[in-house]
Each structure stands twice: as structure tokens, then as C-alpha cells.
Amino acid sequence: MRRPPMLMHVRIQDQNRGFGLWLPLFLVLPLALVVLIILSPLIFVATAILWPSSWGKRAMLSLKAAVEVFWSMRGLDVDCHSGRQCVSISVV
Amino acid sequence: MTDKNDNKRRILDMLAQNKISVDDAYRLLSAVDSTEGGRESGGRAEPAVKGKAKYLRVTVVPDPESERTGNYDRVNVRVPMSLIRAGIKLTTLIPSEARDKVNLALHEKGINIDERNLKPEEIEELIGALGDLEVDVVSKTGEKVKVFVE
């Protein structure tokens, strides 16, 4: 079973200064759930209205795909150096 | 298997009789091993069964000289295969009007692929085939670009 990403580490470094940021992705899921519960009546009505024009189905599929993309991000690692500049993103 | 042993014995006999050099014997024995290795796997040109590919890697390693001078680009990207799979699935959500534009743009570039004809099982097959992908390029400036799956 695939596990969702827990943390994202972003590091940007310039010639003189740099900074690193740990983003707690594990907090995104409970927050998203809360937002989904709050907005669920609105989502339901919008989907019901848009369903005949196929946009409702597309919106639901897009939401599912977005969750799937988020879920698959664990292990992503991008590390680019150009001279003394560096950008690094890793998802763990 | 008997053929293999016979061939090896013949090579060793020729070496003992000084008909061939040690280097030649080594080369021939290696050739026999590699040929028989292919035949033992059923004689087909199928690659050995590998573990399931987990990541697509792209690396750009600079020339040591340019690295020393500080004028270089180094890239190391690791993309999970599951993310590629999810990304490809996203393409099915492209509206038909936009899809026509994409197909037209691809056609203009000489790529005659109709993205609508891609079925999910074909996408899976495509991703599975990525397991054998290996691109190794050395540029004029000495940069080494590698694309492979691990």
C-alpha cells in the first residue's frame, strides 16, 4: 500500500545566502478533509447542476486525479545546481 | 549444456597447443558464456526479468574542468513511476477542444499520435516498457546526461 507524503523539503541557495523549508504535508490531509466537509453541500449542488453538461463528472474526476497525484509524490527528488546557486525539492 | 562444455574444452585444448593466446582464449570463453546464457533463457531476445521500476532518474553531471571553475550545471531528478502514472491519467481530463489543439501541435512537430486513442492498458504497457529505457549522452562540453529507470 502506498503511503502519502509526509514532508516536503525545499532548499534554495544563492551565492551569498540560502534557506531551507520543511513543509509538513501530513497536515494537508486533515485540513483538506475539514475543507471538504465544510464545502460538501456546495460541492454537491454544483456537481448536480453541472452533471448534465459533463463538467460535473470532469470536476469529480479532476479532484480524484489531484488526490492521486498528491498521493504519488512521495519519493520525488529534484536537485538542480547552477554554479553556486542551488534549488532542491524532496518529498519524503 | 554439453555443447557449452565441448566448446570450452576445445578452446582450452587450442590454448594448451599454443594455437591461440591467453587473451584469445579468455575472449572466446566469454563469448561462449554469453551465447549460452542467451540460449538457456529460451533462445529469445527477451531481456532478463527485472524488478518493478520505481523511479525515473534524470541526471546531468558536469565536466570536472567546468566544475572546478564553478561554471557548471548539475541536475539530479528522481520521479516516482506512480507520479508519472497519475500524471498520464490526468491527460484524460483534458477537454476535447484543448485535446484537438494538442494533437494539432503534435502533428505540426511530426508526431502523429492521437492522444484520444491511448487506452489505459496501453499506457500501463508504455510505463512498463520504460523499465528498459536508458539514455546516455555526452555533450561537446563534456556534460554527461543520463536518463534511466531504477
Would you list the DSSP string of B5-25?
HHHHHHHHHHHHTTSS-HHHH
Residue among A85, A42, A77 at smallest CA distance from B57: A77
In this prediction, residue A11 carries a pLDDT of 94
Give residue B46's pLDDT: 42
Pick the closest to residue B29 from B52, B53, B4 (CA basis): B4
Same-domain status, B26 and B63: no
Domain range holding A47?
A: 7-91
In a domain, A41, yes or no: yes
| Residue A34 sits at the chain B interface (C-beta within 8 Å) | no
Q: Which of B69, B93, B99, B145 to mutate to test the interface with A (most CBs of A within 10 A)?
A: B93
> What pLDDT band is residue B50 in, cutting at 50, 70 and 90?
low
DSSP state letters, B74-128 = EEEEEEEHHHHHHHHHHGGGS-HHHHHHHHHHHHHTT----GGG--HHHHHHHHH
A40-91 residue pLDDT tens = 999 889 888 888 887 777 788 888 888 889 999 999 999 999 888 899 999 9
Are residues B102 and B67 located together in one domain of the fold? yes
Residue A59 resides in a domain: yes
Let me know if residue A13 belongs to a domain.
Answer: yes
Does the structure's ipTM exceed the value 0.85? no
Cell numbers describing residue B8: 570450452
Judge whether B84 lies within some domain: yes
Cell of A73: 509524490
Residue B128 is assigned to a structural domain of this protein: yes
Number of domains in chain B: 2
Cβ contacts of B90 on chain A, cutoff 8 Å: 65, 69
Shared domain for B32 and B62, answered yes or no, is no
Q: Which of B127, B150, B128, B147 is nearest to B136 (CA)?
A: B147
Residue B28 lies in a domain: yes
Same-domain check for residues B26 and B79 = no
Q: Give the contacts of B132 (CB within 8 A, at least 6 positions apart).
A: B47, B149
Partner residue opposite B80 with nearest CB, options A76, A79, A83: A76
Amino acid at B39: R
pTM exceeds 0.90, yes or no? no
Q: What pLDDT sits at residue B2?
A: 57
- B66 & B121 share domain: yes
Q: Which of B145, B144, B132 is nearest to B46 (CA)?
A: B132
Contact B75 A65 (CB under 8 A): no
Q: Examine residue A2 and state whether it is found in any structural domain, yes or no.
A: no
Q: Say how many domains are in chain A.
A: 1
Domain identity same for B33 and B62: no
- Name the strands in the sheet holding B55-61, side by side, starting at the edge strand that comes first in the sequence: A18-24, A7-13, A85-91, A77-82, B73-80, B55-61, B144-149, B134-138
Higher pLDDT: B140 or A20? It is: A20
Contact A80, B61 (CB under 8 A): no
Let me know whether B29 and B59 are in one domain. no
Going by C-alpha positions, the residue among A79, A87, A77 that lies closest to residue A7 is A77
Using a CB-CB cut-off of 8 Å, the residues of chain A touching B95 are: 58
Considering the domain boundaries, does residue B77 fall inside one?
yes
Residues B35, B11 share a domain: yes
Residue-number span of the structural domain to which B89 is assigned:
55-149
Question: Quick check: A74 contacting B, CB < 8 Å?
Answer: yes
Using DSSP's 3-state secondary structure scheme, residue A26 falls into helix
Q: Taking residues B76-93, what's their average pLDDT?
A: 86
Residues B29 and B61 in one domain: no
Burial A36-58 (b: 16+ CB within 10 A, else e): eeeeeeeeeeeeeeeeeeeebeb
Reduce the DSSP state of residue B1 to 3 states and report it: coil
Query: How much is the pLDDT for B48?
Result: 43
On whether both B144 and B114 belong to a single domain, the answer is yes
**Which residues face B147 on adjacent strands?**
B58, B135
Q: What pLDDT does B4 receive?
A: 65
